[in-house]
Structure 1
Amino acid sequence: MNDNFMQHQQQNLHAEVARRNAEEARRRHALDEQRRGLEQQREEQRREIANDPGVRRFLQEADERQQRQEAAREAERADNEARLAASEAAALEREKDYQRSLWTLNGRSEASFEEAWPSILARQQAEATEAANARRERLRQEDGIF
């Protein structure tokens, strides 16, 4: 009798586990169906919104505004580069005039200066590059960047 009772209890337990598993599977299936339905509904809403003339006009205006802003920034950058190049050219011309004055004050001819100017300029640029690199290195060390 005890074995029959145990066997009956075990069968009941297995049946209950099977029932609960089936119930859980149905619940998961229903939730998956609900999720798929919601995703489909969201996709339909996205399509409706994308096809709405007001939304399309708003997005097109936003794109045009962004393109105008980018074009304005590019024009400003080009203008700044042109001003910088003009400023650098003027500074170089002033430096050349200054060096020419020093050259001729020392009794040398302007013709010899014109011949020497490229090497003078190269030396000055090398010195400026070396000084800039030294400054960068010093700042890196001060900031602890290695």
Structure 2
Amino acid sequence: MAMAAVAPEERIGAHLKRAEQALLAAKSAACKPAAVTVPQYTALLWLAEKPGISAAGLARLCGVTPPTMNTVLKNLQERGLVQRTPHELHGNVLETRLTDAGRTAMELADSGAVRVERALAAAFTGEERELLIRLLGRCAAALDVQR
């Protein structure tokens, strides 16, 4: 059997994945009091910023596929957290907006998510945070070229 060219503990992707898993677990716990998942929270957060956005536009902002976003929105709509209405000019496009209950859920989940983000940021100095953001940007750019 051939030896791996790069030892598993030296693979940057493994460390990125571990950090992503830890972040997702922390945010999942933070969103639990609002009874929403992290993808639902992310959609609610963007809807608060961009009311009336289409599902396709929201999918792009949230980094998921349109079918995945449609499932997220269907679940949120069934719970009364969002409302979807036909666009006045483009009837086949549904505009999505938060309901009052959706805004309340988003705010509760966001307070927990902000605590997670602040705790994460506090683990680094200002210089380290700036460097980490730049390095992660370089990771994304290097991987985008590989597609």
Of the two, which has the highest radius of gyration? 1
Structure number with greater CO (CA < 8 Å, separation at least 6) is: 2
- Determine if the TM-score, normalized by the shorter chain, exceeds 0.5: no
Query: What TM-score, normalized to structure 1?
Result: 0.24
Query: What TM-score, normalized to structure 2?
Result: 0.24
More helix by share: 1
